[in-house]
Amino acid sequence: MVLQRIFRAVIMGPPGSGKGTVSARITKTFGLKHISSGDILRTNINAKTELGLLMKSCIDQGQLVPDDVMCRLILSDLRAMGQSSWLLDGFPRTVFQAEALDDAYSMDTVINLNVPFHTIKQRLTSRWTHLPSGRVYNVDFNPPKVLGLDDVTGEPLVQRDDDTPDTVTRRLKAYETQTEPVLEYYRSKGVLQIFSGTETNKIWPHVEAFLHRKLSSVKQKVA
Ligand code: ATP
Ligand code: MG
C-alpha cells in the first residue's frame, strides 16, 4: 500500500503485550518507520554511552526513565524522520510525554494491545531478545529455529536484565500508575483503538484490517 500523506501512529500496551512483534508486522505490511523507545535505550546501554549507563539502573529496577530525557531523545529522532510516516512504540508512557508529543505532532491513531496481566507475566519470563534488532522470541510459543540464536543473523539471543519476575512486577505497577492514564488522554481525543486478546497471532489480523481501513480513508481524504 502506498501512502499519499504522512501517517503517524502510536502503539501502546503493557510490557510484553506484543508491541514489538505487532510493530514489526505493521512496518513490514504498511511501510511505516518503527521507532521503539526501549530499543533506542538498549542500543545506548549496549554502546555504553553516558546516557545508556545512567538509564540502565532505572530500567533494571523496572522504573521509567525520567520524562525530560525521554522526550529529548524521542523528539529529536522524530525530527530526523522528516517527511516519513512512522509508528512509535514505547513512547509516550506518561501523560507528560503524551502532551510533549502532542505539541509537536498530531496522531492519526493510537493502537492499544489489551492483554491480561497474568498472560504477560508468563510471557516476559520466558522471553529471549536479539538486542541489535529488537526481535523477540518466546521459548513456549514462538521459539527461534535454533535455541539461543537469532533466526535472521544467527547471533546470540539474551534474556533482558529487566525480564526477571520481581522487575516484571514493578514494570506492571509502573504501567498501571503512569501509563494507563495515557490511554484516557487518547480516548478523550477520539484516536484510541483497543485490541484485546491473549495471543498476538489472533490480535494481529484485527490490527491489520483496521489499518487497511484507516489508511485507505486517509488516501481518499487526500484525493
Ligand atoms: P516490551 O519490550 O515487551 O514492550 P516494555 O514495554 O516494558 O516491554 P520497553 O518498551 O522495551 O519495554 O522499555 C524497557 C524499559 O525502558 C522500560 O521498562 C522503561 O524503564 C524504559 N522506557 C522505555 N520507554 C520509556 C518511556 N517512554 N519513558 C520512560 N521510560 C521508558
Ligand atoms: Mg518493546
What nine digits make up the cell of 58?
A: 532505572
Taking only the tens place, the pLDDT of each residue in 35-66 is 999 999 998 899 998 888 889 999 998 899 99
Spatial distance between the Cα atoms of 60 and 150, rounded to a whole number of angstroms: 23
**Residue 134 phi/psi, 5° resolution?**
85, 0
Residues sharing a CB contact under 8 Å with residue 147, sequence separation 6 or more, in sequence order: 139
Pocket test residue of 60, 93, 124, 180 for ligand 1, highest count of atoms within 8 A of CB: 93
Which residues are near ligand 1 (CB < 6 Å)? Answer: 15-16, 19-20, 37-38, 41, 58-59, 63-65, 70, 90-91, 93, 97, 162, 171
pLDDT of residue 4: 62
Q: Is residue 1 part of a domain?
A: no
214 in a structural domain: no
Does the annotation place 127 within a ligand binding site?
Answer: yes
Percent of the chain with pLDDT over 70: 96
- Tell me whether residue 90 is annotated as binding: yes
On whether residue 36 sits in a domain, the answer given is: yes
CA of 34 from ligand 2 middle (Å) equals 11
89-113 pLDDT tens trace: 999 999 999 999 999 999 999 999 9
50 in a structural domain: yes
Q: The domain containing residue 89 runs over which residues?
A: 8-209
Q: Is residue 215 part of a domain?
A: no
CATH of the domain at 156: 3.40.50.300
Complex confidence, ipTM: 0.90
Element (H, E) at 200: helix 200-222
Number of domains the chain is built from: 1
Mean pLDDT for the chain? 92
* Residues labelled as active-site residues: 19, 93, 127, 160, 171
- Give me ligand 1 centre to Cα 215, in Å: 27
Report pTM: 0.87
- Given a contact cutoff of 8 angstroms between Cβ atoms, the answer to whether 46 and 131 are in contact is yes
Amino acid identity of 46? Answer: N
The CA 187 to ligand 2 mean position distance, Å, reads 22
What is the C-alpha to C-alpha distance for residues 69 and 27, in angstroms, rounded to an integer?
26
Answer yes or no: is 177 within a domain: yes
Within a domain: 217 = no
Per the domain annotation, does 223 fall within a domain?
no
